[in-house]
Amino acid sequence: MEFRIADTFTDALAKLPGQEQKAAKTTAFDLQVDPSAPGLQFHRIDKSKDPNFWSIRVNRDLRIIVHKTASSFLLCYVDHHDKAYDWAVRRRIEAHPKTGAVQIVEVRERVEEIAPPIVVKVPVQEAPTPAPRLFETLSPSELLSIGVPQDWIPDLRSATEDQFFDLASHIPQEAAEALLEYAATGNLVAVGKPAAELPTRMPELAPRLDVSRDPFTHPDSLRRFLVIENAEELRRALDFPWEKWAVFPHPSQREIIERDFTGPAHVAGSAGTGKTVVALHRAARLVHSSPNAQVLLTTFSRPLANMLEQKLKILIGEDSSVVPRVVVTPFRGVAEELYQLAFGRRPHPPPEELVRNSLTKAANDSGVNEFTSRFLYSEWTYVVDAWQVDSADAYANVPRLGRKNRLGAKPRARLWPVFAATRETISKRGFHTWAQIFGEVTAYYSKQERKPFRHIVVDEAQDLGVPELRLLTAIAPREPNALFFAGDLGQRIFQQPFSWTTLGVNVRGHSQVLKINYRTSYQIRQTADRLLPKVIRDVDGREEDRSGTVSVFNGPEPVIAVQPDAEAEIATVTQWISNAVAEGIKPSEIGIFVRTRNEIDRARAVVLQANYEVLELSERGEAPAGRISIGTMHLAKGLEFKAVAVMACDDEVLPLQSRIESVADEVDLDDVYETERQLLYVACTRARDRLLITAVKPGSEFLKDLGSA
């Protein structure tokens, strides 16, 4: 007897109060252990058009809806008696006649009219132009070919844009995604499948289904139904019902997760498209499929690494025997641990102030006064130290990719003694810069035939620097599936761009861009995308095309409010929080972000004025009930909230004036504006359903790009 769980069940379970969730889980376990137990009290849903729907009694009023056949049980839904029965009466489960995917189909004739028209008497001459119908040129066969149920074809062919967003929640996700793609690009292609598999215009005759194939193995079936093999799998699925990514990955994600790559591979996509989901699932797949192999899952910061570790334990089980074989640590954590293993001692990086002072003193001692201290530090950080330049000859020939302030042979010759003296000062004090630490570990493991990891999965790869990438290539074996990167050039906020191919990492031909955004509403994504170009190119010329990204749910328009003073801004955000909580959003599901620590008091004032407790993001972790998270935009990376307020987007705060004043050459100024935009993009895209952006007049110049008047 096969036992399955549907995503509609986990969604419904997550909405129940804690005690009811516990009772429902207990009943689900009882069903899996002994489906014949008399206490389950099966009752057929007679009014349903699907004869296989049954209810199971949880308690006096709570019911689980199951789909029961001779060979399987499927957990479909859970709710109070009347709502549970109503759900089952209005649905049937079937294999789609053209795609073959199993779908939970909402019976059209039992659904109340969606967005009924309101009749208003107006003079004939004032009658508005009818809104265009988005899909009336698509034939029924074409709509069937992307998974639209037969019941819904007439409604979709007559739907306007506004009506379609209402309809989208009633049809299977694959159909909604493909129609959104068609509305945006004019191409009717099954989203998540290679375009070559599905022509732009579909043939009129539906192909015969392969009856020998289990319809539950179809990629679109796997996104909503999971076979549960044992009690541990069921426990994980029910303990974390809101973590749908752990159970039901999208077909486009699953294809990358399961694919074998002969060389370095890369997955890209705008915020919310599931790059981290792919990285986590891929790490889990590799550790399961490679007995005794060590897997490294790494990212740019300790808080993000902690978050990845928590999610990985959800995915593979905290007590799983494979957990010890997965190392989850940030880039610097990798270097530090391997340094100690290689050399038997802990590394000691210097304070930033020591480096700056050493550069200034060395320049004064050498009589080099034609370069600013800002330029010296920038050149040291992104060229000399990053590339571990160790001689005048090496500095004369090092490529200064991305640096528009060109330096000929004579200026480099003048500068080299400054950098050499700085390195000597740092060394005499017993310090190693982080670039040196990475460099020494890289040199050590480049000579070792046996590598510490068989597979390396990198999240937030856009924030890798030269030393970090060099290290990863040195500790990775020359085997298939050794290096996998997940990142978005549009979210680069820490590193200057550089050439990956120069370091021997070429992901061309092994790179894919995810297009389905299921974390951020259509309205928020559209607003945030105005900050970035549609196509972003890296130094190697590889392009990440952000156009055609589809959000799978609708929401309210983001609000941009520029106030006369900070007090008015605080009052605006306070009222916004009150409204959000009144409409069912928990305080722990709200985040407030500001550009720097200098503005954090404005965020704190909002939370206190709203009568909630503050959780500073430096503390990291799940926000306890009743506490609202606040922090800087840099700490927003990797987080998500139902509602986000981005405060203090003031003139000279965004972009940050001190960064503009510190530029050393033309490219630095370009990079400041680029990364400041990307920082705002990161903060805005932490929001799932609601976004508020506020400032004190005149406000940031970026607000006009977002749509502010």
Tokens representing residue 69 in the block: 């056949």
8 Å CB contact between 68 and 56:
no
User: Quick check: is 642 in a domain?
Assistant: yes
Where is 679: in which H helix or E strand? helix 666-684
Distance of CA 576 to the CA centre of its chain: 25
User: Quick check: is 263 in a domain?
Assistant: yes
Query: For the segment 679-694, what is each residue's pLDDT rounded down to a tens digit?
Result: 999 999 999 999 999 9
Tokens representing residue 639 in the block: 């987080």
User: Quick check: is 213 in a domain?
Assistant: no
User: Quick check: is 203 in a domain?
Assistant: no
> What gap in Å lies between CA 339 and CA 650, rounded to an integer?
43
The pLDDT value recorded for residue 203 is 32
Task: Say yes or no: 567 and 665 in one domain.
Answer: yes
Domain coverage including residue 276: 249-344+438-545
Mean pLDDT of 78-89: 96
Q: Give the ranges where 290-433 is alpha helix by DSSP (H).
A: 302-316, 331-343, 352-366, 373-379, 392-397, 409-428
Query: For the segment 451-497, what is each residue's pLDDT rounded down to a tens digit?
Result: 999 999 999 999 899 999 999 999 999 999 999 999 998 888 777 77
pLDDT of residue 197 exceeding 50: no
Reported for 531-538, long-range contacts at CB under 8 A and 24+ positions apart, including other chains, are 531/677, 531/678, 531/680, 531/681, 531/684, 531/702, 531/705, 531/706, 532/490, 532/677, 532/678, 532/681, 536/489, 536/490, 537/489, 538/489, 538/497, 538/500
Task: Say yes or no: 442 and 385 in one domain.
Answer: no
Task: Say yes or no: 67 and 83 in one domain.
Answer: yes
Of 545, 567, 591, which residue sits at a domain end?
A: 545
Q: Which of 289-298, 535-544, 564-573 has the highest mean pLDDT?
A: 564-573
Q: Are strands 91-95 and 102-106 parallel, antiparallel or unpaired?
A: antiparallel
- Residue with the bigger pLDDT between 671 and 484: it is 484
Q: Categorise residue 456: left if φ over 0, alpha if ψ from -120 to 50, beta otherwise.
A: beta
How many independent structural domains does the chain possess? 5
User: Quick check: is 243 in a domain?
Assistant: no
pLDDT of residue 17 exceeding 80: yes
CATH number, residue 79: 3.30.2310.20
User: Quick check: is 212 in a domain?
Assistant: no
Q: Which of 275-284, 320-329, 407-416, 654-663 has the highest mean pLDDT?
A: 275-284
Task: Say yes or no: 376 and 406 in one domain.
Answer: yes
Task: Say yes or no: 177 and 309 in one domain.
Answer: no
Task: Say yes or no: 365 and 318 in one domain.
Answer: no
Task: Say yes or no: 19 and 51 in one domain.
Answer: yes
Query: For the segment 597-636, what is each residue's pLDDT rounded down to a tens digit?
Result: 999 999 999 999 999 999 988 644 455 667 999 999 998 8
Distance of CA 556 to the CA centre of its chain: 21
Mean pLDDT of 410-415: 92
The 3-state DSSP class for residue 691 equals: strand
The pLDDT value recorded for residue 295 is 96
Of 210, 234, 258, which residue sits at a domain end?
A: 234
Tokens representing residue 707 in the block: 């749509």
The pLDDT value recorded for residue 573 is 97
Q: Which residues, listed in sequence order, are joined to residue 298 by a DSSP beta bridge?
A: 329, 458
- Residue with the bigger pLDDT between 121 and 215: it is 215
> What gap in Å lies between CA 149 and CA 134, rounded to an integer?
18
CATH number, residue 298: 3.40.50.300
pLDDT of residue 354 exceeding 90: yes
Task: Say yes or no: 674 and 584 in one domain.
Answer: yes
For the whole model, what pTM was predicted? 0.80
> What gap in Å lies between CA 71 and CA 590, rounded to an integer?
45
The pLDDT value recorded for residue 205 is 30
Q: Lowest-confidence range among 532-541, 545-554, 637-646, 651-660?
A: 545-554
Q: Residue 181 — pLDDT band, cuts 50, 70, 90?
A: confident
Task: Say yes or no: 360 and 339 in one domain.
Answer: no
Query: For the segment 630-641, what is each residue's pLDDT rounded down to a tens digit?
Result: 999 998 887 889
Of 416, 431, 446, which residue sits at a domain end?
A: 431
User: Quick check: is 6 in a domain?
Assistant: yes
Tokens representing residue 129 in the block: 């132009």
User: Quick check: is 205 in a domain?
Assistant: no
Task: Say yes or no: 257 and 362 in one domain.
Answer: no
8 Å CB contact between 72 and 85:
no
Task: Say yes or no: 253 and 295 in one domain.
Answer: yes
pLDDT of residue 245 exceeding 60: yes
The pLDDT value recorded for residue 400 is 67
CA atoms within 13 A on the CB side of 577: 34
Q: Residue 590 — pLDDT band, cuts 50, 70, 90?
A: very high
pLDDT of residue 318 exceeding 80: no
pLDDT of residue 536 exceeding 60: yes
Residues 6+ apart with CB under 8 A from 86: none
The pLDDT value recorded for residue 580 is 95
The length of the chain is: 709
The pLDDT value recorded for residue 112 is 52
pLDDT of residue 196 exceeding 80: no
Q: Residue 243 — pLDDT band, cuts 50, 70, 90?
A: low
The pLDDT value recorded for residue 554 is 80
The pLDDT value recorded for residue 548 is 76
**pLDDT above 70: percentage of residues in the chain:** 89
Task: Say yes or no: 626 and 701 in one domain.
Answer: yes
Mean pLDDT of 37-48: 89
